[in-house]
A = this chain, B = another copy of it.
């Protein structure tokens, strides 16, 4: 039973990361490829399978043997009972797609699937900022806002694996339109796409995005906006002020709901957390119960971009353990 490794796949909107992860959660090797997320579902499955095979080949070359299990993290809500993707905001071709079954057919072995935000949370729980904790709220601020909940040392899945959509709690009932269609979700304020919209709303109508806020390719970049805010740019500062305020409103609700010992905030936008911390903490202090607030620490995520791969591998390890227990 000792030795061996798990394969974790993290399918993002643009990148597919595929890695070999040891039984104790150490990332042994990592492969990056374009996600081809907008391709037909069959192409995506073939792409995942090809990358898993490339990783297992390389692992074999390094004397690691065969994988003990494979876990795949995909964006958007899953039905974990049926193994289908019910809807993914970023992969339009996947509606009611039987992902698990198709991957198992392509890979000739059992595959565990998990929502990408849950996989990220599990990575941070296994080896990152939430290691050894039992009551944790994890928020990842990326293109969208995802989340994961650890209760009693286990991830909360809900009745069909769709729990943890922390980006879609309402923080402003008549607020900005969210990509999910609703108004005033946390994601509409604290994600990269939400923050871009906050900037656009502050520009003159039809005005182009200022070069100050764009990267070398001319695309809006939160990182650039954060640089401008650090240099006291008033527009940039007001945007992070607002994003931090709504982040705080949501975190205060989570503290009152869960009485967590830890709140972990990660994702690309969390690089700007120092700019959001003051308005965030102001709302939390106003809204969270003092006794619960006294028990919680708010920290940055620790694993960076690899948490999803590690968490996907954890999902595979957990599923194997369940299978072993059932036998």
Contact = CB atoms under 8 A, between A and B. Distances in A.
Contacts of A160: 259, 291-292, 295
A9 interface: no
A259 B162 contact: yes
Given A77-B292, A168-B289, A291-B77, A149 B87 contact: no
B287 A168 contact: yes
Contacts of A183: 286-287
A154 B134 CA distance: 15
Contacts of A295: 158-160, 162
A218 B118 CA distance: 53
Contacts of A86: 291
Nearest to A249: B170
Interface in A274-314: 286-287, 289-292, 295-296
A289 B154 CA distance: 23
A286 B157 CA distance: 22
A264 B256 CA distance: 19
A261 interface: yes
Q: Give the 3 A-B residue pairs with the shortest CB-CB distance, closest first.
A: A158-B259, A86-B291, A162-B259
Given A86-B291, A152-B156, A163-B257, 16 more contacts: A77-B289, A135-B163, A149-B257, A152-B154, A156-B258, A159-B295, A159-B296, A160-B292, A162-B291, A162-B295, A168-B256, A169-B169, A170-B249, A173-B245, A181-B286, A182-B252
